[in-house]
Each structure stands twice: as structure tokens, then as C-alpha cells.
Chain A
Amino acid sequence: MQGQKFSFANLMFWVGIAFLYLPMLVLIVYSFNESKMVTVWAGFSAKWYGELFHDAQLMSAVGRSLEVAFYSATSAVVLAIFASVVMVRIKQFKTRTLFTSSITAPLVMPDVIIGLSMLLLFVALQQAIGWPEHRGLMTVWIAHTTFCMAYSTVVISSRLVEMDRSIEEAALDLGASQIKAFVQITLPVISPAIISAWLLSFTLSLDDVVIASFVTGPGATTLPIEVFSSVRLGVTPKINALATLIIGVVSLVAFVSWYVSKRMNDKLKATAA
């Protein structure tokens, strides 16, 4: 079974993993560097973390970004559950192609185009109906919900396709309403996918700099915009410290969500068997 091809692919896999992880590892190591020179090692220090937490502007941007990410992820997942039902179970209706295209297009559409088009919409709406009154966290929320919804729909619909429908069928046979069967049977079964979709949306929203730059307004600078403007001026140890914290939190969340969904899947398999 194990041939020449096999080991070449394995070698490439580990080379690729090293390529993906080494730069981040360097970043983490140098965030504990005493020196202001980012690339000269001058002893261990956590002082940049202290400075980071005293940067009021950055900290308030963190708060704003977490808030937007929370609301965006939540609304995106709700919309995505509906959209997934349409994608998977409602095979025929007029203009279905338009629907499926506009679900998948945000996945690949360059950020500058989404950002620009959203901004022009908000400006035009404001002129026409006076809403949104000004641009800020709310317009960022709308923009993020829209593109996070696309990612969430991919995650949730792929679970919904695989789902064994016999239990739902049984519930319908026993007289449960369509809605009751969906809420009590389908939702719990696809819940690992819903959690993954929510976390993915949360991180995507927390990470977006381009779209937010277009649609935000004064006083609503998100964390990535703040980081981007300081990174443009060069490498600073404070940003290294922030990056390390973000990497740490994301790794933890990703690991926990992976573990939870694995446990849930194992359990489902065990009960099914």
C-alpha cells in the first residue's frame, strides 16, 4: 500500500505545515522580545503586552469588533439556516439560479468590490429614504452578515445534505407539523454545523479590514482597521503581542469547537448504531 508516491505526498504535507506555522511561531517568539527592534533578541519580556492593554484606542476597537462579530455571526447563521433549507430541500422555484449564484458569489468576490458596492448602496439609500442615517457599526454589521451568510450556508447546507431524514419522516408520519419536526429533529442534528458556521463567521467578521474600511464611518473604527493602519507604518512589537493573543484565542476556540463537534458526532454515531 505504501509506495513512493505516498511518502512524497506526506513529505509535502509536513513541508506545507512547516511553511504555514513557522512564520506565526516567529511572531509569537518575538512578541516576548525586550528590544524595540523587532528582529534583534534582547531577552525575555512581557512588557509589550502591558503596553497593549494600556492602549485605550486599540482596546476600544477590540470591544467594537467583538460586538460587531457577535451580531454578524448570529444574524448570518439565522439567515444561513433558511438559505440552506432552500438550497437543499426546495429544488424548484422561479429564479432559483439567481438565488444560488448570489449565495456562492460572496465566497470568491474580491473584498474591494463587495466593500465598494455596499458603500454605494448605503449612500444611495440614504439619499433616497434617509436610512441609514450615518455609517458606522450598523452598516459594518449589515455588510459582514451578508458575506458571512455565504460561508455559513456552505457549512450548514453540506451537513443538511448528509442528514438521514428517516427520523424526520417518522415525526411527520406521527403527525408533527413541518416546523415542529424541523425544530425538534433537524436543528439538533445539524447543530455541530451551526456552531462551526457561527465560529467561522465570527472569525471572518473579526478579521475583515477591506469591507469594513469602505462601509464604516467616523468613530466606528474596528480592530483590523486599527491594526492595518499601524502595520502599514512597519513592524511593531505591540502588534506582535496583539497577534499572539489573537492566534492563542483562535487556536483555543478552533480546538474546542473541533473537539465538541467530534464528541457530538461520535455520540450521534453511537446512538445510531
Chain B
Amino acid sequence: MKGLTARLKEKLPKGKHSIISLPYVWLLVFFVLPFIFVAKISFSEADLAIPPYMPMFEWSDNLLNIKINLGNYLWLAEDPLYWEAYANSIKMAFWSTLLCLLIGYPMAYAIAKAPKEKQAVWLLLVLLPSWTSFLIRVYAWMGLLKDSGLINGALMGIGIIDEPIQMINTNFAVYIGVVYSYLPFMVLPLYANLVKHDNSLLEAASDLGAIKAVSFFRITLPLSFNGIVAGSMLVFIPVVGEYVIPELLGGSDTIMIGKILWQEFFNNRDWPVASALAVIMIMILIIPISLFHHFQHKESR
């Protein structure tokens, strides 16, 4: 092994930089640089022009004018709607993450404990839905949840209810949609973690007389901590900014920040305010994102 690394060091230097530079330059230009523009435009003033914001730097009469407009942030701070949207998004992301964890953990556990030859098939069963269109899976729930939908129809048919229960356009529908769409993202990292566990620890515990529940809570659960964090972040972070699910399944009272950002951008054409919303969202998400990054690397090692 040492021989190889030594040889690599010998042979790589020429090629090393070219290997790094191709993906690196792409990421810098198309992923990192865009955030600088978001930050910049969040400090610009909206304008009725194309593009709909005023330039930040102007050069006239040998004077460089730099205009930094804090108005967008002040505007956001003053309107309780935006505060509510952030708080509500975080709240909904938190509860849906917890629901995914409660359903996903036993599922991942079942796959990890299944006989070796079954594991691949079971895992495929969980992942297959996430390969089909996300949009279509959310859409499927529209047909099930609406007033004249299948669930209400069935309940009325049996005679449990007389008139349809309002399910679509509620937060309840959004929770269902989110858990339904993000469940596979929870199961995958949990499975990847659980399947690596060394059974000898559990055997030792059982030899020493521990019952299954005790050894689960004292051994398996703590050992799967990295998987729990990875899976939870994989659900929590995108759900905070989710747009499609609240738009299709939520009602007018489902105020989520992704939806508000979309409306500011597409309906109000207020690019600076949309950018300011995005900057604040990134600042909220930076801690969970670095947590995810940290645990992802711990797991892959």
C-alpha cells in the first residue's frame, strides 16, 4: 500500500492538477460563483427593467458609485409574513423529518437484518419509487386526498363519514406528501449504517443476559447515530426550501419559505427580495448542511 502511494506521488504531480481542475472549475463557476451573485443582488434595488434590479457599481465622472441597499432585508424584517414563513418551514421540516425517522428506521433495520440475498431486492423496493418522477408521486396524492377523491369516497361508502373531510390544501396533506417523497432518502443512509454493524457486540450482550430491547437501545441505536444524522439532514434541509409539495398539496394557509420565494420571483418579479430570502435561508441551513457534510465524511471513512 505504501509502495503505491509513493508511486502515485511520483507519477501524479503532472496529472494531479488537471484532474482536480476540471470538476473544480465547473463547481466554482456554476455552483460557488452563483451564490456570490445572489448575495450581491440581495443588496440591490428593484427596478422595472431587464434584468429587474439596479446596478450596484456605477462609474461616472471618475467616481465609482457603490450602492448597497439594505432595504430588502429591512422589508423582510418588518413584515411578520416572512418571519412566519421561516418559522413554519422549519417547524414542518422538523416534524416531517421525525416522522420519516420513525417510519424509516424500522424499515432500514428490517432490510439490514434480512438474509443477505434478500437485502438487495428489499432495498430496491424502497428506492424504486424515488426513481420515478417526484412530481408524479405528489400528484398521485392529489387524486387520493381531494374531496371527491378515493379516500373520502371510500370512507363515505362505508358510512363512517357523511360528507368529505377536507384533506387536500391542508398542512396534513403537505406532511403526507413530504414523508411520502422523502422516506427513501431516510432509509438509504440508515441502511448503509446498520448493515455495517458488527453482530458480535449484540451476541456478547445477549450472552451476558441482556434482552433484545435493551441491547437495541444500548448498542444498535447509539452505533447508528451517524446514519440518523445523515438521513435526517438529507430530509430536513431540502424540505425547509420545498416548493412543489406545498404548492400542490398545501392550502393558502400553508406558508412555506420556498413558496414565498417563488412568488416573489415569478409573480412579483422582485428579484432582490427573492435573493434576500435565499440568503437568509442559506444562513439558516448552513449549520445543518455542515453537519451533513461532517457526518457524510465520517460515514464514508
Residues of A at the B interface (CB closer than 8 Å) are: 3-6, 8-10, 12-13, 16-17, 19-21, 23-24, 26-27, 30, 37-39, 79-80, 82-83, 85-86, 89-90, 93, 98-113, 116-118, 120-121, 123-124, 127, 142-143, 145-146, 149, 153, 157-158, 161, 165, 169, 172, 177-179, 200, 203, 206-207, 209-210, 213-214, 224, 227-228, 231-232, 234-235, 239-240, 243, 246-247, 250-251, 253-255, 258, 262
Chain A contacts of B195 at CB under 8 A? none
Tell me if A235 and B15 are in contact (CB < 8 A). no
> Given A13-B122, A39-B148, A113-B281, are A124 and B37 also a contact pair (CB < 8 Å)?
yes
Chain A contacts of B262 at CB under 8 A? 112
B286 to A, closest residue via Cβ: A105
Tell me if A16 and B142 are in contact (CB < 8 A). no
Residues of B at the A interface (CB closer than 8 Å) are: 3-4, 7-8, 11-12, 15-16, 19-20, 22-24, 26-28, 30-35, 37-38, 41, 51, 103-104, 106-107, 109-111, 113, 120, 122, 124-129, 131-137, 139-144, 146, 148-150, 153, 180, 183-184, 187, 212-213, 216, 233-234, 237-238, 240-244, 247-248, 258, 261-262, 265-266, 271, 274-275, 278, 281-282, 285, 288-290, 292-293, 296-297, 300
Chain A contacts of B275 at CB under 8 A? 116, 120
Tell me if A6 and B142 are in contact (CB < 8 A). no
Tell me if A251 and B136 are in contact (CB < 8 A). no
Chain B contacts of A103 at CB under 8 A? 23, 27
The majority secondary structure among interface residues of chain B is helix
> Given A82-B23, A121-B37, are A111 and B243 also a contact pair (CB < 8 Å)?
yes
Cα distance A118–B34 in the bound complex, in angstroms: 6
A116 to B, closest residue via Cβ: B278
> Given A13-B122, A109-B237, A254-B128, are A90 and B135 also a contact pair (CB < 8 Å)?
no
B1 to A, closest residue via Cβ: A165
Chain B contacts of A149 at CB under 8 A? 23, 26-27
Given contacts A108-B234, A161-B300, 20 further A-B contacts (CB under 8 A): A6-B113, A16-B104, A27-B139, A82-B22, A90-B12, A101-B293, A102-B32, A108-B233, A109-B238, A111-B238, A111-B241, A120-B275, A146-B26, A146-B27, A165-B4, A224-B133, A232-B247, A243-B139, A250-B132, A254-B131
